[in-house]
Structure 1
Amino acid sequence: MSRKGPTDDGDELLARLGSLTAQARELAQLQRSRVELAVALQRGMLPRDLPEAPGLQLAVRYAPAYQGLNVGGDWYDAFTMPDGRIGLSIGDVQGHNIEAAAFMGQVRVGLRALASVTSEPGELLARTNDLILSLGTDLFATCTFMRLDPATGVLESARAGHIPHIWATADGRSGVSGDEGGPPLGVEQGMEYPVMRHRLTTGGVFVLVTDGVVEGPSLSLDEGLDKVVRLAGVAAVAGLEAGALAAAVIKMAGTVGHEDDAAVLVVGHDGAVGRL
């Protein structure tokens, strides 16, 4: 009767370890490819250009959470609507995978498409909500949509489960918006979204962010929003450009203590042409 010796046992163990290592490498490569695809998908769906109007400043910053093999579905958007006003949106899709990134694209495109039918923010969110539910997905998204008239500075806003925006004026006032909102998009049929009116004054700014910028294990939501309020207040009084403020706000994403998508959209008016 033959009996395997220590050498045979060692060879078999090494072979098994080699096989497991190869499988682990294949799985890691597959996951890495999925992450790279999702990041490319995200970046490809975000707008390349921003609308322009006399005196109006728009600035955006985006930091995808692709470290740790997680990718989320945050987005921002800004586009000129058929009536000449400017549509602005920012949002966050549930989940951190390629499905979330793809769903983000569907929501963003849906908002743009429906804005050609109605640009009223509350009705637009309501129609987008019903559209998402008709797709039969289990995902949902938070979102803020604003309609800005660059000629008058009137800004109308509706919120679907998203964190509130921040505002600041050149005379030193600043704060967190107390706008009433509705539930996230894709949760329940037939929802209503209240519309609030604001005014973009000369030197003033509005800052829209996703929660990856202002909330995490190292920073509570209230603390994060307060930090953005201070940054916006300083920027408005000092007359900083929207791009500088957006860059300062996105840096906060590195202080919240987690790896999550982070998006910033800043709307400002520099008073260079005309007066709002």
Structure 2
Amino acid sequence: MSQDKSHDGFVPSAKGLGEENLDRLEQGLRQIARAHGRVQDLLDAVLMISRELDLNLVLHKIIDTARQLVDARYAALGVLGPHGEFTDLITSGFGADLTARLGGTLPHGTGLLGDLVRDPRPLRVQDLAHHPHAAGFPEGHPPMSTLLGVPIRVRSTIYGNLYLADKTDGSAFTDDDEAVVTALASAAGVAIENARLYEQLRRATEEFQRRLLPDIPQLDGLELHAHYQPSTETPRIGGDWYDFIHLPDHVPCLMLGDVMGHGIPAATVMSQISNMLRVIAFDEQEPPSRILHRLDTVLHELHGGPMATVIIARLEPRGSGRLLQWASAGHLPPLLVTPGHEAAYLHADTGLPLGVDPDLPRPDHEQHLPAGSTVLLHTDGLVEERGESLDTGMDAAAGIAATHAGKPLPDLVDALIAARGGAFEDDVALLAARITPGSDQRQKADVPSTGSW
């Protein structure tokens, strides 16, 4: 009997169609699929790590991702100091609380971990217990049998080492595992460098912003405290500012404002406005509305009328207290805190922001402040929160201020800042003044009575 042939004469062999080769083909296809899936997972991981700019979050994402990519039970990143010593150990997986349980003890680098420090190349160990360089684990350390270690380089420096132990299926680490983790470590080095550069930029811009703000003096009869809090988002520089001057008529003057926008442009405009405002306030002295009118006019003539909100407040001595005189260009009202633990915003006509129409008038307002009371001026970053109304934020701030009315002024301010939990969508400038007895009033209180027995 003749074999059935195709028209080109090819006769497929019976072996080529056998189950053994079909199994091999299926296995090969599965390996290709797994390899493709792992590459996609690696790309996704690199993108996720690269988007993060907070160094602490970057490091935690690196070890979590590495552990997931190779299906390891444990992962750690040992950060190295300038002399190859361990300065931090970040862990993930079933031993994530390792550092805490060991009392913060860091590896000494005398065993296998030290091998990777001294010879920064990928390291795979299939039997930790019997490796000649194994130094054992400290008491309380979870048991481990296999290890994959890969160095992380930032530029030409070894930043640290990535360690993975014990795959969940009990198998040994493979060449593919090593290749994937090595690729991740390379991307991690770039992400760490970006995070460190971002941190340097953040600190530099924040320092620049703080240098634009004045020192607050100590005055008789008036306690002052100021605070600047940059937003938690980059860039940490903007148009919020506070200022204080002693006018020629010996009346203290508080000034605070917020330029619309963010970044270097807003900070530049802020510097222009605050410098102009100092000169105009010193020349005009009063009323505050007149100072704002001249400022708005000059800004229109010289700079095209940049948009900003500003509040100016005089604190003129009146008996044992002070007379608060203020005017606002679209800014939030002052927050008054009384010695009786009551706090409320002094709602009044806020007027239009600077840059709208310099010819439109802005009203002046007055409020007597008894001794012991506190007045706070702040920008909207203190009370602004996504998804909440401004009124809700202001009510919350007033409640906190009332609760801390009897505390030292810095503690009251710190409580307002701490209430946000460290998350600020916008910069915050805050200037607080507390009315205290003057030296002459204290002297009168100390003079004993000369009345008869």
User: 2-side partners of 1:138 and 1:33: how far apart?
Assistant: 34
Cα pair distance change 1:143/1:51, threshold 3 Å: farther
Q: Give the direction of change, closer, same or farther, for the CA distance of 1:229–1:124 in structure 2 (3 Å limit).
A: same
Give 1:118's aligned amino acid: E
Distance in structure 2 (CA, Å) of the matches to 1:31 and 1:157: 40
Q: Is the 8 A contact 1:32 1:69 kept in 2?
A: no
SS of 1:95's equivalent in the other structure is: strand
Partner residue of 2:250 out of 84, 88, 95: 84
* Aligned counterpart, 2:291: 124
Say whether 1:220 aligns with 2:389: yes
Show structure 1 runs of 4+ deviating over 3 A: 27-41, 252-255, 270-273
Of 244, 262, 275, 1:96 maps to 262
Q: Percent identity?
A: 33
Distance 2:431 2:290 in 1: 22
Q: Which secondary structure state, in structure 2, belongs to the residue aligned with residue 87 of structure 1? A: strand
Pairing 1:193-204 to 2, within 5 Å after superposition: 193-204=362-373
Please tell me whether the aligned partners of residues 250 and 263 of structure 1 are also in contact (alpha carbons under 8 angstroms): no
Is 1:61 matched with 2:227?
yes
The answer to whether the 8 Å contact 1:205/1:232 transfers is no
Normalising to structure 1: TM-score of the pair?
A: 0.80
Q: 1:71 to 1:253 in 2, by over 3 A?
A: farther
Letter in 2 for 1:86: P
Q: Distance in 1 between matches of 2:298 and 2:204?
A: 26
Which residue of 2 is the match for residue 156 of structure 1?
A: 325
Partner secondary structure for residue 69 of structure 1: coil
| Mapped partners of 2:365, 2:210: distance in 1 | 31
Counterpart residue number, 2:157:
none
1:134 to 278, 291, 301: 301
Cα drift, residue 232 of structure 1: 2.1
Q: Deviations over 1:205-248 (max 9, x none)?
A: 11111111101205421111112211222233xx2221111111
Letter in 2 for 1:174: A
- TM-score in terms of structure 2 length: 0.50
1:169 maps to which of 323, 338, 346: 338
Give the distance between the partners of 2:209 and 2:340, measured in 1 at CA: 38
Contact 2:299 2:305 in 1 (8 A): no
Change (3 A) 1:66 1:222: closer
Deviation (angstroms), 1:272: 7.0
Q: 1:165 offset after TM fit, Å?
A: 1.7
CA distance in 2 between counterparts of 1:48 and 1:213 reads 21
Cα deviation for residue 94 of structure 1 reads 0.6
d(CA) in 2 for partners of 1:157, 1:189: 18
Unmatched 5+ stretches in structure 2: 1-186, 188-193, 443-453
For residues 260 and 212 of structure 1, what CA distance do their matches in structure 2 show? 5
Q: Does the C-alpha gap of structure 1 residues 31 and 203 become closer, same or farther in structure 2, counting only changes over 3 Å?
A: same
Secondary structure (helix, strand or coil) at the match of 2:241 reads strand
SS at match of 2:234: helix
Equivalent residue of 1:135, what SS? helix
What is the CA deviation profile of residues 48-91 of structure 1, one whole-angstrom value per residue up to 9, with x for unaligned ones? 2335123x111111112263335321001112111100110111
Deviation at 1:170, TM superposition (A): 1.3
Q: Is the 8 A contact 2:220 2:438 kept in 1?
A: no
Question: Kindly tell me: are residues 137 and 266 of structure 1, through their superposed partners in 2, closer, same or farther at Cα, counting changes over 3 Å?
Answer: same
Change (3 A) 1:34 1:192: farther
| 2:33 aligned partner | none
SS in 2 for 1:94: strand
The amino acid that maps onto 2:285 is S
How far the C-alpha of 1:31 sits from its partner, in A, is 8.7
Equivalent in the alignment of 1:182 = 351
Hey, what's the Cα distance between the residues in 1 that align with 2:216 and 2:335? 23
Task: Check conservation: 2:238, 2:267, Cα contact below 8 A.
Answer: yes
Which structure ranks higher in relative contact order (CA pairs < 8 Å, sequence separation ≥ 6)? 1
With over 3 angstroms needed to count, the CA separation of the structure-2 counterparts of 1:34 and 1:93, relative to structure 1, is farther
Contact (CA 8 Å) 1:73, 1:96: kept in 2 or not? Answer: yes
Give the alignment partner of residue 263 of structure 1, picking from 429, 436, 445.
429
Distance in 2 (alpha carbons) for counterparts of 1:171 and 1:29: 48
Give secondary structure in 2 for the equivalent of 1:116.
helix
CA contact (8 A) 2:238 2:427 kept: yes
Q: CA offsets, 1:112-158, max 9 Å, x none? A: 10012112201001111111111234631101100112454111010
In structure 1, stretches of 5+ residues that fail to align are 1-20, 22-26
Q: Which residue is equivalent to 1:108?
A: 274
